[in-house]
Structure 1
Amino acid sequence: MATHAHSGSWVHRLGRGAGRTWGGYLRREQRAAGWLVGRGVPTSAARALLWIAKLVVLGVLLYAAFWLALLLLLAMVLVWAVDNAVPEDDDEKAEWRMGLSGYGLYRGETRIDLGDPDDD
């Protein structure tokens, strides 16, 4: 096995950091279980309490994620509704084209830009 002074790519460092974090979490969990057993709680009950704590944290995270997703969905529906609130017919849409009064911005058959009076 080669030992390198260089720690590798950012993915390697990220994985190593995640592994250290997970190991630290497991050590703290074992310390908490040992503390509970030291206080007279049976080992199986200490494990059950730790699992209940994990499930409660997971439930709180899922609850928060649900409301954030609902808020995002509501924002998307609101943006869609505002975008589609004013119906634009193809006849009513302004466009640049050559018309009866020369080249200009027309809505339907009416030129809506001022144009250049010298163009006549």
Structure 2
Amino acid sequence: MNSLFPVMIGGAIGAGARHLVGQAMLARLGPGFPWWTLAINIAGSLLMGLLIGALARGDGVNDTLRLFVGVGVLGGFTTFSSFSMEFWMLFERGQTAQAFAYVLASAVGAIFACGLGLFLMRQVPA
């Protein structure tokens, strides 16, 4: 239960940051292309890489800070950061085929699932 609170607080901060960044970029760049999502996913993945690198070096990042930043803030900011980290974990373990299958299954599966959800909801009378 002690690990829940840093994750919840970090998640709220990350979600708020995602909203603010998205709104600012939408206002500046318009709705023609989802630049805000692209930027958030790339920035979140960079930050996750920095965090994991610091953890691997033993830079004094304790478990509470890892949960707060990695799971909470970055999880609320973008789940793409976790996805990116999991790809690299598989890849660095020599599980290259599984890493690329994970990318393909995640992208295609998520797009298909979203489309299926839209289709199903359109079948339900309003």
TM-score scaled by structure 1?
A: 0.39
Q: Which of these two proteins has the greater Rg computed from alpha carbons?
A: 1
The structure whose residues are more often strand, as a share, is 1
Q: Which has the higher helix share?
A: 2
Q: Which has the higher contact order (CA 8 A, sep 6+)?
A: 2
TM-score of the pair, normalised by structure 2: 0.38
